[in-house]
Amino acid sequence: MLNLTFGEQVKIVLSRKGMTIKELAEQIEARTGKKMSRQNLTQRLGRDNFQEQDMRMIAEILGCSFQLSILASLEAEKAMVIEEELPTEKELGRLAAKKEMKEIREEKKKEKIENVPEAAEEPAEEVIEAVEESVEEVAEAAPVMEEKAVEHVEKAKKEDTKYSNNSKYFQPIKQRKDLEEDREAGEINPYTGREYQTNSVRTHPKRIGYVQVYDRKEHKWTDMTEWAFIGMEENKKAALGKAYEPPIYLD
C-alpha cells in the first residue's frame, strides 16, 4: 500500500468511503473557489500531479491524516479486519470504474432530455405537411371502408346459415376458388385451422390507417394504406365485372 502513488491512494479511499471523483471535485471547487471538473480531477489523479498543499486539502476532505500516506489512518482503523476480507485492488478499481460509468451515463441522459424540447419546438415543415396529408387521407377513406365492411357483414349473414350472432369479432369466411393452401409456409387462421385465403384483409395491428392483405401465392401479408386498398379493389371490380369477388374482411 505504501508504494502506491498519492492519486492511487485517493481512488482507494474514495471507493472505501463510497464517494465518487465528481463529489470530491465539487468539494475541492467549494473550498478553493476554482473550477474543478470530474474530468480534470480524474486526469490529475492519473498523472499524480498535486502540490503538497493540494494533497493536504484532499486528505482533510477525505478525513485522513496526511503523512507519508493518507492510508495510514485507514489502516489503523481496520487493523482488526482480516486481510482476505478486504477488497483487492482489482475489485476496487472495478467498483470505481462502475461508478464513473454510471455518472457518465447519467450526464449523457440528462443532456438528451434537455435537448429534446429544443428540437421539438421547431419541427420541419415537411414533417408537418406529411402528417396533415396522412390524416386527411385516413379521414377520407374511413367512411368508405366502414360502408364496405357493413355491406360485407350483411351479405355474409344472408349467405351463411351457420352464422352466429355470438361471433362478435369474427365473420365467417366464404369459400372460394383459390391457390392450394400450404400450412407449413403459410399463416393459419385460428378460427378455421386452414391457411388464410387470398385477399383476406384485416386492420393493421400497429399502423393507424393501414390494413394487411393476405396472398396465398406469397404466403404472407402485405401492408398498404386503407385508401390504397380501396382504390385497388375498385379497379378490380371495374375490370372483372361480375367475376369480381369482394375481399374477405376479418375484423
Give 10-residue mean pLDDT values along the chain (251 residues).
78 91 91 88 86 89 76 54 55 76 81 60 61 67 68 61 45 64 89 91 94 93 94 91 90 77
The number of angstroms, rounded, from the C-alpha of 46 to the middle of its chain's C-alpha atoms is: 36
Q: Rounded to an integer, what distance in angstroms lies between the CA atom of residue 183 and that of residue 189?
A: 10
Q: How large is the C-alpha radius of gyration of the chain?
A: 36
pLDDT at 82: 42
Tell me the backbone φ, ψ of residue 248, rounded to 5 degrees. Answer: -100, 105
Q: If residue 246 lies in a helix (H) or strand (E), which one and from where to where? A: none
At residue 123, the 3 state secondary structure works out as coil
pLDDT at 189: 92
Q: Rounded to an integer, what distance in angstroms lies between the CA atom of residue 139 and that of residue 145?
A: 10
The number of angstroms, rounded, from the C-alpha of 53 to the middle of its chain's C-alpha atoms is: 49
pLDDT at 126: 66
pLDDT at 135: 64
| Grid coordinates of 14 | 474514495
Q: Rounded to an integer, what distance in angstroms lies between the CA atom of residue 180 and that of residue 195?
A: 9
Closest CA to 11 of 84, 100, 73: 100
Q: Rounded to an integer, what distance in angstroms lies between the CA atom of residue 65 and that of residue 71?
A: 8
pLDDT at 12: 92
pLDDT at 84: 46
**Side chain identity at 251, as an amino acid letter?**
D
Closest CA to 91 of 16, 1, 23: 16
pLDDT at 210: 96
